[in-house]
């Protein structure tokens, strides 16, 4: 399997071979690439970034993201769990908006400071 490492701008093209329980990686310039390739084969994960409704503020939507990457198969569940979520200003970066989102064990956190409107 061919895969491009996304951990830095070098974008190393890697070749991953799976043989039973063994995963070998070539083409990576550093160990981060190998770790990324192995995770992509075994349990691919992604960050989720979206918005939730916001009240009492000059803007109507609060940008949020997962505090850590979640399994790829749980992305839709996380987005679904955030539908209907509404928070009130003030909000600080890093505030937990939804703990343990969709049972992933990963919190949804605010990515923007927002004060009261007016």
Q: Residue numbers of the site for ligand SF4 (CB under 6 A)?
A: 5, 7-8, 10-12, 28-30, 32-33
CB of 54 to ligand SF4, least distance (A): 36
CB of 109 to ligand SF4, least distance (A): 25
Q: Which residue has its beta carbon closest to ligand SF4?
A: 33
Nearer to ligand SF4 among residue 8 and residue 93 (C-beta): 8
CB of 102 to ligand SF4, least distance (A): 29
Nearer to ligand SF4 among residue 63 and residue 69 (C-beta): 69
CB of 4 to ligand SF4, least distance (A): 8
What are the residues facing 102 on neighbouring strands? Answer: none
8 A C-beta contact, residue 64 and residue 108: yes
């Amino acid at each position: 399997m061919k895969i491009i490492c996304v951990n830095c701008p070098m974008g190393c093209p890697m070749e991953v071979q799976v043989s039973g329980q063994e995963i070998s990686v070539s083409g990576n310039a550093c160990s981060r690439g190998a770790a990324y390739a192995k995770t992509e084969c075994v349990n691919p994960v992604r960050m989720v970034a979206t918005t939730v409704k916001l009240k009492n503020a000059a803007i109507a939507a609060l940008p949020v993201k997962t505090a850590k990457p979640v399994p790829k198969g749980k992305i839709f569940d996380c987005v679904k769990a955030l539908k209907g979520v509404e928070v009130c200003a003030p909000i600080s970066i890093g505030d937990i908006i939804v703990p343990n989102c969709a049972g992933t064990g990963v919190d949804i956190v605010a990515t923007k400071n927002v004060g009261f409107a007016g």
